[in-house]
Amino acid sequence: MTVLSLGIVRGLAGQLIGSALGIGVSVAVRVAMGLPLEVKEGAIVVGILVGAMGFMIGVGALTDWSKWMLGIETPLRLGPPEGKPSWTRYFGVDYSHKIIGIQYGVTSMVLLFLAGLLALTFRVELTTPGLQFLDNHTYNTIMSTHGIAMIAAMLVGVGAMANYLTPLMIGTSDMVFPRLNAFGFWINVPAALLIGTSMYVGGWDTGWTAYAPLSVNAPLGMQFVLLGVFLIGLSSILGSINVIVTVLHRRTPGMHFFRMPIFVWSVLATSIIAFSATQLIGLSFLMVSAERALGMTFFSPVLSPGAVAVGSPAGQVLLFQNLFWFYSHPAVYVFILPGLGIISELLPVFSRKPLFGYKWVALSSMAIALMGFFVWGHHMFTSGMLEGLRIPFMVTTMLIAVPTGVKFFSWIATLWGGKISLQTPMLFVLGAISIFLIGGLTGPPNGVSVSDLFLHDTYYIVGHFHAAMFGGFIFPFIAAIYYWFPKITGRMYDEGLGKLHFWLMTPGFWLQSLAMARVGLLGMRRRIADWDPGLGIETGQLMITIAGFAIGISMLIFLANLIISAVRGRVASPNPWQSRSPEFQIPSPIPEHSYAQPPVITGEPYDYAEPDSVYVSMSPASSAAD
Amino acid sequence: MREKIKMSDKKRAAYRTGIVVFLVVAALTAVEFYLASISGAIAVLFFIALIKAALIVRYFMHVNRLWTDEGHE
Amino acid sequence: MSVATTTLSQYRAQLRSNRLGLWLFFISELFLFGGLLISRFYLWGGTRPDLDQRLGLIVTSILLLSSFFMYLAEVGAEHENRRLFLFSLIMTALLGTAFLLGVVIFEWGGEIRPWDGAFGAILYGMTGMHALHVASGIVLILIVAYNGLRGRYTAERHWGVEACAIYWHYVDVVWIFFYPAIYLMGTVPT
Amino acid sequence: MKHLLAVVVLIVIVTLAVGFLLNPENLLPTLASEEGAFVDQLFSLYAFVIAFFFALIVVILLYSTIVFRRKKGDDKPGANVHGNSVLEIVWTVIPLGIVLFFAGLGAVYLKDTLKAEPDEMIVEVTASQWSWRFRYPEFGISSTELNLLNGRQVLFVFESTDVIHSFWVPEFRLKQDVVPGITTTLRLKPTLPGSYKVRCAELCGLNHAYMLAEVTVMEQAEFDAWVASEIDSGALGPPDRGAKLAGLNGCLACHSTDGTRSVGPSWRGLFGSEEILEDGSVVLVDEAYLLESILDPNLQVVEGYRPDLMPKVYGDTLSQEEIQDLIAYIRSLEN
């Protein structure tokens, strides 16, 4: 086995070669046209795109499709690679959804840690007023990269849960388009590399929102981020199409819609947003990219002499915000819906009680997803958009609170009268509810436009947003990792370390989000490298930093727990939680083809209070006799 | 033998659909062009475009195959 | 694409999913093109650039005709009429190329440059994004033609042809909205 | 039943406690504008609604985990309750009513914040990276400080020369983005004399954190005196005129006058010094060099500073005379 037999190594080589080729050819064309030898931003754009393609060719994600085009048959290769150690599967193109799910998950964790590290760096800077060790530009770059890397981490994390769990939960052996699935994962890798590289090629200073015209004038790093996000968006679109078709077409016999595990509903809702709205962030970022590289004035309000000559109107700054938020608000639901699905999925297991109001919870996900398309204007209350639009956007925004409330009430009603056991996954679910509650209750004041005119772009929003993301995604994601860890590895995580992780992280996070909201109300703006000592927020700032480090340390404990337990943990039984879900009725770790034969669904998913009832019947022959 | 006749019937029907749709869409394009030369009313032009698109989606793209589950003949 | 190792029922199940997947992709792309269309109205409002009307009508007619030939090609594949299938397919590719050349050489060769205000940005943005899809459609047609020449499609199994055909029609549908938006709607500023 | 009673009592206690904690007087900075009062009113309404829902969820969650905790060896399942349609409808309809009430109230208040008074004073605000300029057409003066009259409504008319900025004085509550290409407005009526700060609330690049301007709300006499002194400043000599221009055109956002290094070289002791350029050559800072660097800053960039940051517009926006005044000012900062 040589290093080059690892797909990822070939991919990286491909990306390097592709980038060099793209830039080289562009410059050569320039010279051939009689222009001076110079690497303009346009050439770099070509380099980035060809580089990403180079990665995909190198890693082998396009191999099967190329063969199809030439009429060569490619039977789906499953199982460990021949002649190579089985761990190499994770470092190259593999078509099993379980492998791809893990690949997504690990990538997400890597991004999460790097982005967290960036956050701690600038948190130290923000602890005291004045600039200590960062300058303005470095601060802006780190802060902006933290934001976009976290967004990427969450999108990839959603991909992890959706890919690993969806086929298992609907009782099928794989996603319906395995090759597309692998492609969708691997495109994230060159994209993540681009986002990382952005810090070293001039940086960028726009925050993750990349508002034009600031992003049009920003240093070169901006271009890397724009295209990196574009590629991640592509992955998100392809992945969600795959999920939708899989859920619609590949459910095992007997699993009609209202018998699906609730997580599948939330993934379906998420996919509906992701496969459609994502195009618009891609478009808006492409437009900024084109405005930077080619001077196409979509957003700049300045008219060039050429534009005057053809009688053209100028670009409009607010167009960007409209396109951007049309995706980026629903994007928040892309992150949190699967998280809320995990909460609803795990609560009945650890309460030994049916999920309260299953249909309401399922449909509330759909309601959130669909209503999410009509609320983007609430990010623009202060932007100078049409006055009259503020009120309809305020109403639609406030309405989202209703289906979200339905979820909260269903959760506490599920807990009520249960037999609750507090293992680590359940602790994180309860922590998630409490933190998402902070995010949820700090939300409506932003939705009412008058109070938003005060709150917009303050640290209060930072607090609200982080609480919504941690409660809605990070905590449930961690709960999911603990919960399915025995299923994935066949071994049990360490309960003591898990509880330590929880008791460090949850109070840390409460402190952090409350302190953030507090300093914001006192006048702390978001995205500033330095703050005014006159605001009276010294204690608040210090608390945020301390809480940030508590979260950071707890995540290191989490990482240690995962790595040590995966190697040396106690061997787990197939169903350590007495779950009714299909994936817990088969051995751990899950066999290559998951189900030996399609399971048959004969009952309700969450009838934990009726021990005799059957949800999944593993042998179709006997169930047919019932 | 019977199979064959049925087959060619279907084929002829398919030809006819194609030609009719093409002619209607071409005529609508001409109408659009003419309307635009007298006034550029956005709503009317958009409505005609919608009809053209619906015809192509229904007859050329066979959108109904999504729910009729029609296999390849 | 047909893989002879699968049974017909497996093929049909996958066909059903393939169709849904491709249509979902179309809906997804609808948001991309819709975003461009909305940007056009946002920036141009009731105005439009002074473009060569004859050229617009000609390229539109060419694309429409190509869609008709693509339809014939699919009918040919469905009824295993190889001559009709291949001839129409090649005609589609030729007409598609003619459309592309019309846009790139004549339309882009006009007075307006990409950096000329919102007119330039939106005109090149819309036609550029559409041209990219036409170009990829032509590549798909050539691949299908290559496999068609080798007789790899049957009446039972020709998803490749169908996918290519509905993709091509989809690109046509997009142009059905882009053409009036670029050429016909609004008035030329004087 | 016993459980329900306990929970209700706890919810009431927690609601009251949290509700008082969330009193806007504890949470927000001093209020200094009439329109801002709507924000505070909303916050005092939010306090108990937020407190109630917080209490409802947290009390039931904690109570359940403690009281309904599974004992060791107890393998019996929980209560077999699948749902309750009446409850579901109740907790859909009641929150719906509450959010619609707040949306309606927000709409009414929003209209109130837009209400114009007949004697409003217009202040034209120009924002640029990274400074504010305020023009008072009524008096024909411009300033880098915002001085307002207590009790007289102001109509701010905003324009940006480069990227999006946002005008925010926390004590006035309301904020408004300043967007290039369009004119935005905001009405505020100061109600409390004192000193505050305009804080740019929309990330606007490198020095965003420091894009601040002094705000003073004054009584009539003080304000009149300030206006008179500003009008008199027309008779100043070239260096003083230059100093004022440097503020109004945002020069001082990037060039300090006390020798500290910022985005651009400091003007203290600049004139007559020798600077090393990017290409290693040495240039004497004289009037010719300063003139060239104001008109085209990218021609001779001093080593260690980024090109392309300084706008290339001053040849158009400033008159010959004004540029000479600026150079005279820089010269006056010679060591």
C103-130 pLDDT per residue, tens: 988 888 888 889 889 999 999 999 999 9
What integer pLDDT is reported at residue B70 of this predicted model?
66
Question: Do the Cβ atoms of D326 and D294 come closer than 8 Å?
Answer: yes
Q: Are residues D210 and D249 in the same domain?
A: no
Q: What is the pLDDT confidence band of residue D148, given thresholds at 50, 70 and 90?
A: very high
Pick among B60, B68, B69, B73 to test the C interface (most C CBs inside 10 A): B60
| Residue whose C-alpha is closest to residue D290's, from D241, D230, D246, D247 | D246
Q: Is residue D34 part of a domain?
A: yes
What average pLDDT does range C21-28 have in this prediction?
95
- Residue D217: CATH number of its domain: 2.60.40.420
Q: What angle do CA A531, A537, A541 make, to 5 degrees?
A: 80
Q: Is residue D8 part of a domain?
A: yes
Rounded alpha-carbon distances, angstroms, from residue A268 to A186, A334, A338, A477, C18? 22, 10, 9, 17, 18
Q: Does C153 touch chain A (CB under 8 A)?
A: no
What average pLDDT does range C178-189 have in this prediction?
90
Element containing residue B71 per DSSP (H, E): none
What integer pLDDT is reported at residue D238 of this predicted model?
79
Place of tokens 């009412």: A448
Domain final position from D175, D209, D233:
D233
Structure tokens at A540: 């608040």
What integer pLDDT is reported at residue A619 of this predicted model?
67
What integer pLDDT is reported at residue A286 of this predicted model?
94
Q: Is residue D246 part of a domain?
A: yes
For A98-299+315-625, which CATH superfamily applies? Cytochrome c oxidase-like, subunit I domain (1.20.210.10)
The neighbours of chain D, by the rule of 3 or more Cβ pairs under 8 Å, are: A
Q: Is residue D78 part of a domain?
A: no
Q: What percent of chain C shows pLDDT beyond 90?
A: 67
Q: What percent of chain A shows pLDDT beyond 90?
A: 77
D205-240 pLDDT per residue, tens: 888 999 999 999 999 999 999 998 888 776 777 788
| Residue whose C-alpha is closest to residue A287's, from A317, A267, A264, A308 | A317
Structure tokens at A599: 């399971």
Q: Is residue D79 part of a domain?
A: no
C79-91 pLDDT per residue, tens: 888 899 999 999 9
Place of tokens 């609730």: A262
CA distance D218 to D210: 24
Pick among C7, C11, C71 to test the B interface (most B CBs inside 10 A): C71
Question: CB C176 to CB B63 under 8 A?
Answer: no
The DSSP result for D152-188, as a single string, is --EEEEEEESSS-EEEE-GGG--EEEE-TTS-EEEEE
- Residue D272: CATH number of its domain: 1.10.760.10
What integer pLDDT is reported at residue C3 of this predicted model?
46
Question: Do the Cβ atoms of D158 and D184 come closer than 8 Å?
Answer: yes
| Residue whose C-alpha is closest to residue D225's, from D141, D155, D131, D124 | D141
Is the model's pLDDT at D327 over the cut of 90?
Answer: no
What integer pLDDT is reported at residue A622 of this predicted model?
44
Which residues does C15 contact at the CB level (< 8 Å), separation at least 6? B71, B72, C159
A192-211 pLDDT per residue, tens: 999 999 999 989 999 999 99
Question: CB A297 to CB C118 under 8 A?
Answer: yes
Question: Do the Cβ atoms of A188 and A232 come closer than 8 Å?
Answer: yes
Q: What residues of chain D lie within 8 A of the CB of A525, using their CB?
A: 168, 199-201, 209
What integer pLDDT is reported at residue A495 of this predicted model?
94
What integer pLDDT is reported at residue D191 of this predicted model?
94
Question: CB A457 to CB D77 under 8 A?
Answer: no
D115-132 pLDDT per residue, tens: 898 989 999 999 998 899
Tell how many helices (H) and how many strands (E) occur in chain D.
9, 12
D288-304 pLDDT per residue, tens: 888 888 888 888 888 88
Question: CB C113 to CB A309 under 8 A?
Answer: no
What integer pLDDT is reported at residue A624 of this predicted model?
40
What integer pLDDT is reported at residue C2 of this predicted model?
42
Q: Which C residues, 78 through 107, put their C-beta within 8 Å of a C-beta on chain A?
A: none
Which of C71, C158, C162 shows the shortest C-beta gap to B18?
C71
Is the model's pLDDT at D65 over the cut of 90?
Answer: yes
Element containing residue C4 per DSSP (H, E): none
Question: CB C47 to CB A311 under 8 A?
Answer: yes
DSSP H helical ranges for A295-316: 305-309
A150-159 pLDDT per residue, tens: 999 999 999 9
Q: Which amino acid is at B10?
A: K
What integer pLDDT is reported at residue C94 of this predicted model?
95
Q: Are residues D244 and D229 in the same domain?
A: no
Task: List the domain range (segments joined by +) for residue D284.
Answer: 236-332
| Domain spans, chain A | 1-70, 98-299+315-625
Count, residues in chain B: 73
Q: What is the pLDDT confidence band of residue D287, given thresholds at 50, 70 and 90?
A: confident
Q: What residues of chain A lie within 8 A of the CB of D108, using their CB?
A: none
Q: Are residues D108 and D22 in the same domain?
A: yes
Place of tokens 């982080």: A466
CA distance D174 to D38: 10
Q: Domain count for chain D, please give it.
A: 3
Q: Is residue D284 part of a domain?
A: yes
What integer pLDDT is reported at residue A229 of this predicted model?
95
Give C27 to chain A, closest Cα distance, Å.
7
Q: Are residues D104 and D135 in the same domain?
A: no
Backbone angles phi, psi at D170, to 5 degrees: -50, -35
Give C66 to chain A, closest Cα distance, Å.
22
| Domain spans, chain B | 2-68
Is the model's pLDDT at D57 over the cut of 50?
Answer: yes
Q: Does B60 touch chain C (CB under 8 A)?
A: yes
Q: Are residues D8 and D109 in the same domain?
A: yes
Our CA dihedral for C1, C4, C6, C12, rounded to 10 degrees, sits at 50
Q: What angle do CA A205, A206, A211 make, to 5 degrees?
A: 155
Q: Are residues D109 and D142 in the same domain?
A: no
Task: Give chain A's residues under pLDDT 50.
Answer: 621-626
Task: Give chain B's residues under pLDDT 70.
Answer: 1-7, 40, 69-73
Q: What is the Cα Rg of chain D in Å?
A: 29
Question: CB A527 to CB D208 under 8 A?
Answer: yes
Question: CB A314 to CB C47 under 8 A?
Answer: no
Our CA dihedral for A186, A190, A195, A199, rounded to 10 degrees, sits at 150
Domains of chain C: 52-184 (1.20.120.80)
